[in-house]
Chains A and B, each alone.
Chain A
Amino acid sequence: MDNLRIRILKDKIFSFLVVILAFLACLPLFLILGFIIRNGALSINLDFFIHLPKPVGVEGGGISNAIVGTFIIVFIAFIIATPFAIFAGIYLSENRKNLLAEIMRVSVDILASIPSIVIGIIAYLWIVKPMKSFSALSAGVALAIIMLPVVIKSTEETLAMIPYSLKEASFALGVPYYRTILKVIFPAGLSGVITGILIAISRIAGETAPLLFTAFGNPFMNLNITKPMNTITLVVFNYSTSPYEQWHKIAWAASLVLLIIVLGFNLLSRIISRKWKVKF
């Protein structure tokens, strides 16, 4: 019976290890959250959201321009990337074993693994140089390229999960192929597609590298997408690398705002995928 006791002991040790390691894996997240909240919360007030940055030495000031800029640039990226990504996702889910689809699948994977700073350089060469100006538009294009593979993948995976029997039901009613895809398959996968888009948005909202030489940053409020624009990530980057204590505080606060926005999108995606889940 000793043998049995040893086995039970091993079992307990293993269960214990799983819990401990799982907890340790989450620990950095809690530490980061705690640290950012502690440092950032001090400088956050209403002014922070509605005022422009003040010069060094002047107390107060906000990052209203950067918050607006982040939303504008993310919105540009969303508008550019989503249509292409959704159609590409539909194509890939509809063509499981075709050579062109296979080539596309590999390309999407490669695109997903290109470092974001490289995509920034490409956007610089393609858009900033010809237009002779840093611009929100070029930043939007760079982020759209980063967003593309994420949304393509999630759309493909979501739509591929939809049972074939639904498609058959539609065909058997004499519904043409394109209408079957648009009115049966796509709506059935809509919550998954939207979830994918929101996750992609929360990812690009935190991108900094590709914005350095596209959006560039701007101390003023700018709504013109052909001109340089500020974003929260650029504020964090520029202010935290500055020598001024006052600016460091703003960088922390901006980090907190960014974190809240990103978590918000994440949370929203979870709510949508729960609430709108289609039961087959």
Chain B
Amino acid sequence: MESEILKIDKFSAGFGQCLVLKDICFSVQQNKITAIMGPSGCGKTTLIRCINRMHEFSPGAVYSGKILLHGQDIYSMNPIIVRRKIGMVFQRPNPFPTMSIYDNVLSGFILNGIKLKKEEKDQIVFNSLQKAGLWEEVKDNLHRKGTFLSGGQQQRLCIARALAMNPDIILLDEPTSSLDPKSTLLIEQLMEELKQSVTILIVTHNIAQAARVSDYVAFIYLGELVEFGPSKKIFTAPENKKTEEYLTGKFG
């Protein structure tokens, strides 16, 4: 059973006079992994940052069009609410350096001033770390600082932090680009399990990664959506010439 959770409708965005994204239209299906791929500088990251309204922090940010979450335009909602419903994991792991692993997982609640009971906290930390595949590795060190972990562990901690807020969607912005192959594999396996409970949107410039993990692929080139469809179809029989050239390594 597939249902649409996010619809991007004629969305354009950019910085000042410079338009980075032009009339992007596609839908994201619930509990699926949608990959956004394309060469560097094509606007992938800008697009994903528009989806949780992080784009507007950039100086001179402009946008037009609609992004609908469950049919509601996120640009008519309070950005703070949007960001709690749509979590994000960044290129480089960025756990809060002043907080323990335990508090990092709960940071969404702590920083927002949401009070929880001890049992609730323990439950959320356990569930989130379990889902992020980190529990076994850190269960004895929950009160050490998050920054003591390795890069790959830190990234999974960031995923746990995003999951703790129980979001509808999580956005992964090249989550493995600063990690070694082993950690990358772990995170890819993790995504496969996570899609049972959350919708995943991943930005990647790694074609192989997009092919391995995604159910749907959006190929963006020079700010335009070239092709969108089920991964199986795009990676085997792309309709557009440009997509084919990109996949076969003629550019990118």
Contacts and interface: CB of A to CB of B under 8 A. Distances in A.
Interface stretch (A27-35, A148-156, A163-171): A163-171
A175 B108 CA distance: 7
A173 B90 contact: no
Nearest to B59: A97
Interface stretch (B67-75, B76-84, B124-132, B215-223): B76-84
Interface residues of B, number: 29
B90 A180 contact: no
Given A175-B112, A179-B111, A280-B147, A169 B83 contact: no
A172 B54 contact: yes
A188 interface: yes
Contacts of B84: 173-174
A137 B123 CA distance: 53
A188 B112 contact: no
A278 interface: yes
Given A166-B94, A168-B94, A188-B98, A173 B165 contact: yes
Interface residues of A, number: 22
A172 B97 contact: no
B96 A184 contact: yes
B194 interface: no
A170 B111 contact: yes
B96 A169 contact: yes
Contacts of B145: 279
B161 interface: yes
Given A168-B54, A168-B90, A280-B147, A173 B112 contact: yes
Nearest to B82: A174
Given A165-B92, A168-B90, A280-B147, A174 B112 contact: yes
Q: Which 5 interchain pairs have the tightest Cβ spacing?
A: A174-B84, A174-B83, A172-B88, A173-B108, A165-B94
Given A175-B108, A188-B97, 15 more contacts: A166-B97, A170-B96, A171-B57, A172-B83, A173-B108, A174-B83, A174-B84, A175-B111, A176-B80, A176-B112, A184-B98, A187-B98, A278-B97, A279-B145, A280-B147
